[in-house]
Amino acid sequence: MKFPNINFDTLKNEGTSSVTPQERRKFLKLGLAVAGVYAGGKVLSLTSLVGTAHASGGANIVEKFPYNPHYSMVIRQSLCIDCEKCVEACNKTNHVPEYGYRTRILTKKYSGSLDKQVEFIPVLCNHCNDAPCVRACPTRATYKDPVTGIVRMDSKKCIGCKTCMLACPYDARYFSAERHAVDKCDFCWEERLSKGETQTGCSAACPTGARTFGNLTDPDNIVYKLVHQLEEQVWVLRPADDTKPNIFYMKGNMRSVDNILNEQKFKYYDPNKA
Amino acid sequence: MTGRMVNISKKWGFHGVEALKNASPLYKMTMAIFALLALAGAAVGLHGMITGYHHVYGVTREISWGLLISAYIFCVVTSTGLCIISSIGHVFGGEAYMPIAKRAVFMSIMFMFGGFCIIFFDIENPFRMAIWNVISPNFVSNMWWMGTLYGMYLVFMIIEYYFLLDQNHTLSRLMGFFGLVVGIAAHSNLGAVFGMLHGRPFWYGPYLPIYFIFSAAMSGGCAILFFTTLGWRINPEIMNQRMERAIKAITQVTIFLISVIIFFTIWKIITGMVSEGKHLVIMSFLTGDYAINFWVFEIFLGMVLPLYLLIRSRGNNFNLILWATGLMMIGIFFMRYDIVIPGQMESVYHSLGVEEAKDMLTYTPSFHEIMASLFGIGFIGLAYFAGEKMLNGHQLEKHEIVPDGGYICPGCGAIHFMEEGETEDDAMKRHHRIW
């Protein structure tokens, strides 16, 4: 096979003037897409279609999320001080019996680290896009809300086989004798969101802003901003189970995150000092 | 149906309540113990249902399937196994296996009912199940398929048993075939109830559905040997040359199936030791909390001892077979327990390294759970002992009481009935035609 003999040294520079703006935009887009996949892809791909939506940018995102409003929570782990106000608020709002809980705060201890010895990790139902509990339920007593994506319970259909409790990789379910059904977090849909509130009981009660709740399809929303930044790592719990959870975790103590959010008013953010 | 007006007691071998009255005092006492066990179990179970299971059961939020599910699985595994082993004879035409069919199918049905008795006290709202399983089915849920397929299986087995009694071999064979297909589907699906929970690494994967089928066949072989040799102790007359041949054949197949399960268990342990998600559980089998369950009950009583004793028995020492399979039934129960409980021992947050999930979770069956399980076991025991007497040891009728119009089939040894104007030859062809 013969190769055409091109001498690059003698080729004339065509200049940038011959590249159309369309072509240039396409090239830049490609670069962004590649960077997006490498930098943020690990987490963003966990939400259906968010990877492609992120790379193509703009208004497409809203249409490409599976739900709208797509409720989601970002937990900024470093801000959690284990005051348990969220657990109290949850128990009170949702009438959770003494023997059960819908959310709890786990403690992780470190030794040998210089900055801190302990870390608190709030956990709750992850409202997975591919929820194992929804597949496991024999009577469709638990289901993905087709509008909001919240994993909800239709208590009257629950036969109490407890398969969903074992299917859940986040231990988010318990059997409530009062309801005669399995009970779980519903992002306070029944007690708050359906009555016009915008925050869940736990996120409203959180004094530090560790729990931030919002709509993932709204580019102005705090959870959207926290998830769609590349500077600080965002992760989910038990990613290997591939359930596409909607509870995102991050340390949340970096300046860069504050900068992105400087329009947003936080409880811990004092605009006078900034 | 012309020319077939035969006394049902003769044709079905049904000896009625009279047979129970004539039983020995010891026999009556044994039955009374099982009856009391079943009644006490039902009473305690109902008490638990009224007071609320979360007050009286040992199951928790994390370990939500306990002793009751283990006992349920023990029952349905044995039921499916009895169906599989008996089908070798009366569905696939293995001559040697034919004489055990009636007892095997009868016990298969009773084990299924026993399993349903037990799970009745595990499901929190069993009455809702009947409604919502029908009007709001989830076709991708293994649990839904489990209820549906086992329900169908039970129906097929009951119809099959009726035709077996009625000596309609064509239809019993057809129903037996459907029962087997649905039974295999139901049972491997039960394995998938566990095997498709991908948040539980100890269960997840295709291993359990496959293991459940082989394990069921082993349990079935064990159970039919146990119940037949026990029937022989009750009434030695049930043993004849054909039955001895059947026992020998089933002993051989059971030895083979125990070997298969040993092979399965070895690879479960070895592969589990290198898996991050399974390592802790496997180590608790080998050296931890479950070491006695595993080594003494599952391995020694469930596999090694019966393997040795069954080989020693050469298939014709019935006392030895009775002991081997009796101990094996206990071992098999622990095998089921060791699937259900350890799969939940490791908290889902263990890998996160948090304080709350550092230790393995523990579970101890409560009094109520033990009694509710005994409800099912008592029912099965009672049904067995009642069946041995009332159905005359599940025998095919003997020569001297061949009723009018009937004759001893030279092929299968059972009594066949001739239609009007039919020769023996035609009748045999009719009885043994496949479709």
The distance of B336 to chain A (nearest Cα, Å) reads 17
Q: How far is CA A210 from CA A102, A202, A216, A245, B8, in A?
A: 17, 10, 17, 18, 77
Helices (H) and strands (E) in chain A, counts: 10, 9
Mean confidence (pLDDT) of chain B: 85
pLDDT score of A49 more than 80: no
Task: Choose among A108, A171, A181: nearest Cβ to B61.
Answer: A171
Q: What are phi and psi of B406, to 5 degrees?
A: -105, 165
What is chain A's Cα-based Rg?
23
Q: Choose the weakest-confidence range: A35-49, A81-95, B142-156.
A: A35-49
Task: Choose among B128, B140, B348: nearest Cβ to A169.
Answer: B348
Q: What are phi and psi of B402, to 5 degrees?
A: -65, 120
- ipTM, two decimals: 0.81
pLDDT in tens, chain B (435 residues): 344 445 555 666 667 777 777 778 888 888 899 999 999 999 998 898 888 888 888 888 889 999 999 999 999 999 999 999 989 888 887 777 888 888 899 999 999 999 999 999 988 888 888 888 889 899 999 999 999 999 999 999 999 888 887 777 778 888 889 999 999 999 999 999 999 988 888 899 899 999 999 999 999 999 999 999 998 888 877 777 778 888 888 999 999 999 999 999 999 999 988 888 888 888 888 888 888 889 999 899 989 999 999 998 888 888 999 999 999 999 999 999 999 999 898 888 888 888 888 888 888 888 999 999 999 999 999 999 888 877 777 776 544 456 667 776 665 666 677 777 777 777 777 776 644
Q: Enumerate the residues of chain A whose CB falls inside 8 A of the CB of residue B129.
A: 138-139, 159, 161
Which single residue is written with the structure tokens 């002793």?
B67
Question: What is the reported pLDDT for B163?
Answer: 84
Contacts (Cβ under 8 Å, ≥6 apart) of A199: A192, A213
Question: B143 touching A, CB under 8 A?
Answer: yes
Contacts (Cβ under 8 Å, ≥6 apart) of B421: none
d(CA A19, CA A23): 6
Task: Choose among A139, A165, A177: nearest Cβ to B132.
Answer: A139
d(CA B219, CA B39): 26
Is A139–B124 a contact, with Cβ atoms under 8 angstroms apart?
A: no
Cis check for the bond before A69: say yes or no (omega within 30 of 0).
yes
Is A136–B142 a contact, with Cβ atoms under 8 angstroms apart?
A: yes
Q: Enumerate the residues of chain A whose CB falls inside 8 A of the CB of residue B126.
A: 159
Question: What is the reported pLDDT for A29?
Answer: 63
d(CA A262, CA A273): 12
d(CA A225, CA A213): 12
Quote the Cα angle for B160-B127-B78, to 5°: 40
The distance of A101 to chain B (nearest Cα, Å) reads 10
Question: What is the reported pLDDT for A28?
Answer: 62
Question: What is the reported pLDDT for A223?
Answer: 85
Which single residue is written with the structure tokens 């009286």?
B56
Is B198–A132 a contact, with Cβ atoms under 8 angstroms apart?
A: yes
How do residues A231-249 score in pLDDT, each as one tens digit?
788 888 888 888 888 899 9
Is A135–B355 a contact, with Cβ atoms under 8 angstroms apart?
A: no
Residues of A with CB under 8 A from a CB of B: 99-100, 104, 106-109, 121, 123, 132, 135-141, 156-163, 165-171, 173-175, 177, 180-181, 237-238, 241-243
d(CA A88, CA A7): 75
Question: B308 touching A, CB under 8 A?
Answer: no
Cα torsion B16, B219, B156, B142: sign: positive
d(CA B225, CA B425): 34
Q: Which class for B26: exposed (0-12), middle (13-18), buried (19 or more C-beta within 10 A)?
A: exposed
Is B197–A107 a contact, with Cβ atoms under 8 angstroms apart?
A: no
* Strand-strand pairing, A118-123 and A142-144: unpaired
Question: B132 touching A, CB under 8 A?
Answer: yes
- Assess contact for A80 and A205: CB atoms under 8 A: no
pLDDT > 90 fraction of chain A, expressed in percent and rounded: 27
Question: B358 touching A, CB under 8 A?
Answer: no
Residue A181 bridge partners (DSSP): A176
Alpha helices in A157-200 (DSSP H): 163-167
Mean pLDDT of A198-224: 87
Q: Enumerate the residues of chain A whose CB falls inside 8 A of the CB of residue B138.
A: 135, 137-140
Confidence class of residue A260 from pLDDT cuts 50, 70 and 90? low
